[in-house]
Copies of this chain bind each other. A is one copy, B any other.
Amino acid sequence: MMSSRIFKKRKSIKQVEESNELAPKFDKNGLIPVVTTDFKTSEILMQGYMNEEALKKTIKIGEAVYYSRSRKSLWHKGKISGFVQKIKEILIDDDQDCVWLKVKVLGGASCHVGYKSCFYRSLQNITEDGVELKFTENEKVFDPEVVYPGIENPTKL
C-alpha cells in the first residue's frame, strides 16, 4: 500500500510553486484535471479527472487511472477496450492543480468514439456567423460498437 504521505500538505505558495514537494490541489469535488499526451508525438489524447485515489493508483501501477464523473468511480483506462495508457512521465503545474501525463497507448487509441485522440476536430471557416468543425483524423482506429458492446456512451448532453 502506497503511503498517504505521497501528497504533502499545502503550506505556502513558495512550497507549492518552487519546491520539490508534491502537494496537489483537489477541487471542492475532490478532483484534479488531467491532460494526457502521447509521449512520442506530443499530441493531446484526452482530458480527464482524477481524485486522490486515482492519482495515487496511477503513480503506483504506472498506468492511467482516472475518476469517471459519469460513473462516479475509478476508471482504469483500457480495462474494457484494451487501450491501456502506460505512464512514461507525470508532470504537475505551477500551483499543482493540474496533472500532465505522457503515455504510451497500447492499441493506439484513446477516444471512445474510435479515434486516436479525443481532439479529432478543429475550428475552421470562422466568420461573423459561425464556425465549422473539420475532422483532423480521417479514419477511426476501432469500431466502438465492437469494442464497447452494450456499454453506455459516456458523452452527456
Q: Is the CB of B136 within 8 A of A91?
A: yes
Using A90-B123, A91-B122, A92-B133 as known contacts, say yes or no to A33 and B20 having CB atoms under 8 A apart. no
Whole-angstrom CA separation of A11 from B90 in the bound complex: 37
Q: Is the CB of A128 within 8 A of B94?
A: no
Interface flags for A72-104 (1: CB within 8 Å of B; 0: not) read 000000000000000001111111001010000
A21 at the interface (CB under 8 A from B): yes
A37 at the interface (CB under 8 A from B): yes
Q: How many copies does the complex hold?
A: 2
Whole-angstrom CA separation of A10 from B25 in the bound complex: 32
Find A100's partner among B13, B33, B44 (CB 8 Å cutoff).
Answer: B44
Q: Which of A39-91 contact B (CB under 8 A)?
A: 41-44, 46-47, 59, 89-91
A141 at the interface (CB under 8 A from B): no
Using A19-B133, A155-B13, A157-B16 as known contacts, say yes or no to A47 and B91 having CB atoms under 8 A apart. no
A113 at the interface (CB under 8 A from B): yes
Chain B residues in 8 Å Cβ range of A59: 123, 126, 131
